[in-house]
Amino acid sequence: MELELTRVDYATVGLTGPNCLQLLPPIGSAAATTGSGGYKQQQKVAIGDQDGVLQVFSMKKDELQMHFKTLPGERIASVKLGGQVGSVADKMFIASENKVRGFNKKGKLFLAFETSLTETIRSMCVSGPDLLVCGNHVYNHYRDCKELGSYLCGDVIVDVAALCPHNTSRLITVLACSGRVLRVLEHSRVRQTIELDSVPTVLHVPKGLGDRMLCGFADGSVLLFHLNLQVAEVKREVLVSDQLNRDERDKEGLSAVTCIATYDLSGDGKEELIVGRRDGTLQVFTMNSDEYQFEMECTQIYRELFNESISSVQAGCVGANGYTEIVVCTYSGRVFGLTTQCIGKCLSDAGSFSGGVPVVQAIDTSAKLQRIRAEIYELEQTIAKERERYQLSTQAMSSGLSAIPMLPVNDSFVLSKSDATYLLSLEIPTPIEHVLLQCDTPVSLLDVEKNSAVVSFSECDKLSGNRLLASYRCQMNTNRIDLKIRTIEGQTGTLQVYITPNLQPKCCQLKRYPIKPLSLHVILHNVTDEMLARPMNVLTLKGPFSQAEVHNWMVNSIPELPEKRHEAGKVRFTFQHVFIGTLLVCEYGKGEATFRSDNISTVSILKDFITKEATKKRIKLEISSTINESTIPSLIKLIEPKIVHYNKLTKDFQLAQALLDLDIRDEDEFGTLSEEYRTLIRTHQTIEAEFRKQPTILNRIYGILTDLYIDKFKFKGVNVKTKLPQLIELLDNYTYDQLVHFYTIDKANDEDNKD
């Protein structure tokens, strides 16, 4: 079943962030709800923007009615609805800086509360008399504006949600943290830590459920969690994932989830799942259950791309009585509805009936067109006056300054585990003219099918420190751009991005992104004994350093580590290479650090980086390393499937291209070919598509194995670079035994290979 929705534009506000949109319940909402829990009377829309303006409007006879609008102020980080327990949640609470203000539906300020947070409020949740606010690292719990407790988190807190188990007065808090965990708190103490496979981005608790919660992730997936708070048990089910939903329109995979909502759009008593994404994609799924039972089958019934990231989604009744719709707010401040009503022909609220059949009345659009023309004329006159005033202010005799405010950039730089590349997303409120990339370390730019910009590269002079110079020239009215970047482990530097909007006077916004030495490692939570039983190489460091100093070294070398550690004593982290699957186990405390890995290159990179950082601070280190020869065969076995697959893919692609050049059109000639060649010709499109997607992946594998060979003998003080052509030849004609034999030959006694 496909859901048919029609777009209706409502308003344009300032720039918006997550959780900025809410739909107020209609007057007398207790009687205005349907049996499935949805509203059938028109609702007001409340929205807060980054200009600090909270405004509430509704629609009446296709006209926007503004109910109230606050003066500009501090940036609004969150808008939530609340009310007394058992009553309708019709009060609006907004968070800005470290303050929380409350407004009733008429716009009267009834609460102005300054929290004790020293950080800016990033996320907020209101549940009856309880107020939960979070900064980057601090969580505070208030009840009736009195502080009940707080929690200091090492990770960055992304979102917060409150669970109220059925028939109890308990309040359970869930914190979504950037360290790929959900922390379950009660009385401001961590009861449980739920480890995740990706970074959470948004939490959503469906109405009426006190123990189930939806969570969206940076990899595009959506999971349903059932928290059994009696026995501290957690069930989880994947509702939306990259593997389940990739199709021809979504070849690049799913974008990060920015907002989630649930609502009964079809009126069948079962709520649909509404998902908004960073790339502007909006999806609606049926969940085939009204109680969020597990083993549900999610089916996509609607999908549309709106070309700018979606900040918030809500569902209800806004445009016309009796018609449900999805209200969407984008980053640039566009507010529009996706309604189930057919706009071309609609039934009047006071429509007549003939024989029990409603009579369709035509809408008189002449008055509306005349009003729109008048508004356009007024806007044109205002623009002309402002343009003239600006020209006068830039004259030589004028004391005015030609300046433009800081350009806000909605950006993300996230490692994709599926293809071991970084996805850089850039979005600004005005059209982008061009984007310039500069990097002082070797990185590669990959094609993104969604990207329509034209790229051009410039030659780099290594003496100047540039290893990448590229510019993207964007099409007209392009507000966002996605770039894919492939890094090389062991190479550290900074990627600088210069974003030039299509504005006058010309200006440019600079964003910097660090490329860390172990850029392809992520934190691994679910570590099994089988993994730790692998043979390991060991690097041990001792010296007069503190735990904070060694943690800072780790933060600067590996992604996803929290900036600060609040726990005392020795800490331990386990990381995994997203491309080849090798492990890195780090244990460190004051004066001592131990690193174990089944990849010699990882140990070598860490040793070089930490030695360099310690030398800057004049810290003398005692370094000892143990190289385990048996790690090489196990690593080759780990990467063997990729070598075999991509070796075959490359050869099949080259052979298929040669066969196509023969231009065989006759069936008899085609029949003279072997079955293998006929299969290659039939499947050449599939082979070419896979090869074009990862054209240099075989070179990447070869690079990892050559680095392994060089790093092994570097620990022995031997230079083996002259042997690399022989290694490449072995890789081209790969056999496991020959390759392992080549690595295990001791070259240390070969005097010709010494430095």
| Residue 396 predicted with pLDDT over 60 | no
CA distances from 230 to 209, 215, 241, 745 (A): 16, 21, 29, 59
Please write the tens of the pLDDT for every residue from 92-123. Answer: 999 999 999 999 988 899 999 999 888 899 99
Lowest-pLDDT range of 331-345, 391-405, 456-470, 694-708: 391-405
Max mean pLDDT among 152-161, 295-304, 392-401 falls in: 152-161
**Residues 6 or more apart in contact with residue 266 via CB below 8 angstroms:** 3, 272
Q: Which amino acid appears at position 359 of this protein?
A: V
Max mean pLDDT among 496-500, 665-669, 701-705 falls in: 496-500
Query: What is the Rg, in whole angstroms, of the alpha carbon atoms belonging to the chain?
Result: 30
| Nearest in space to 44 (alpha carbons), one of 73, 13, 66 | 66
C-alpha angle with apex 86: 84 to 91, nearest 5 degrees? 35
CA distance 615 to 620: 7
What pLDDT shows up at residue 132? 94
Please write the tens of the pLDDT for every residue from 678-691. Answer: 888 888 888 888 78
Where helices occur in 238-347 by DSSP H, the ranges are 242-245
Is residue 281 within 8 A of residue 237, CB to CB? The reply is no
Q: Which amino acid appears at position 663 of this protein?
A: D
What pLDDT shows up at residue 393? 67
Cβ-in-10-Å burial (0-12, 13-18, 19+) of 636 comes to middle
Averaged pLDDT, 199-222: 87
Averaged pLDDT, 167-176: 84
What pLDDT shows up at residue 353? 40
What pLDDT shows up at residue 160? 94
Place 32 in a pLDDT band, splitting at 50, 70 and 90. Answer: very low
SS (H, E, C) 78-134: EEEEECCCCCCCCEEEEEECCEEEEECCCCCEEEEEECCCCCCCCEEEEECCEEEEE
Question: Mean pLDDT over all residues of the chain?
Answer: 84
Sheet holding 310-316, edge to edge: 6-12, 334-339, 325-330, 310-316
Is residue 228 within 8 A of residue 287, CB to CB? The reply is no
Classify strands 21-23 and 45-48 as parallel, antiparallel or unpaired. antiparallel
| Residue 290 predicted with pLDDT over 70 | no
Could you tell me the end-to-end alpha-carbon distance of the chain, in angstroms, rounded to an integer? 70
Residue 561 corresponds to which tokens in the numbers above? Answer: 């580590």
CA distance 317 to 321: 7
Element of type H or E holding 374: helix 366-393
| Nearest in space to 45 (alpha carbons), one of 317, 248, 290 | 317
| Nearest in space to 579 (alpha carbons), one of 440, 476, 705, 744 | 705
Cα 450 to chain center, whole Å?
16
Where helices occur in 472-630 by DSSP H, the ranges are 529-532, 547-555, 600-616
Max mean pLDDT among 2-11, 38-47, 225-234 falls in: 2-11
C-alpha angle with apex 513: 547 to 443, nearest 5 degrees? 110
Q: 454 pairs with which residues across the strands?
A: 473
| Nearest in space to 264 (alpha carbons), one of 317, 225, 185 | 317
What pLDDT shows up at residue 398? 54
Place 744 in a pLDDT band, splitting at 50, 70 and 90. Answer: confident
| Nearest in space to 728 (alpha carbons), one of 690, 698, 691 | 698
Residue 292 corresponds to which tokens in the numbers above? Answer: 């969020």
**Residues 6 or more apart in contact with residue 508 via CB below 8 angstroms:** 498, 499, 500
Place 49 in a pLDDT band, splitting at 50, 70 and 90. Answer: very high
Please write the tens of the pLDDT for every residue from 607-650. Answer: 999 999 999 989 999 999 998 888 899 999 989 888 888 888 88
What pLDDT shows up at residue 243? 52
Please write the tens of the pLDDT for every residue from 356-389. Answer: 444 444 445 677 788 888 888 998 999 888 888 8
CA distance 519 to 486: 10
CA distance 23 to 535: 57
Q: 67 pairs with which residues across the strands?
A: none
Where helices occur in 500-546 by DSSP H, the ranges are 529-532
What pLDDT shows up at residue 610? 93
Q: What percent of the chain is helix, strand and coil (3-state, nearest 5)? A: 20, 35, 40
Residue 9 corresponds to which tokens in the numbers above? Answer: 């534009």
Element of type H or E holding 485: strand 480-486
Place 249 in a pLDDT band, splitting at 50, 70 and 90. Answer: very low
Place 749 in a pLDDT band, splitting at 50, 70 and 90. Answer: very low
Residue 92 or residue 560, greater confidence: 92
What pLDDT shows up at residue 347? 40
Place 331 in a pLDDT band, splitting at 50, 70 and 90. Answer: very high
Is residue 224 within 8 A of residue 239, CB to CB? The reply is yes
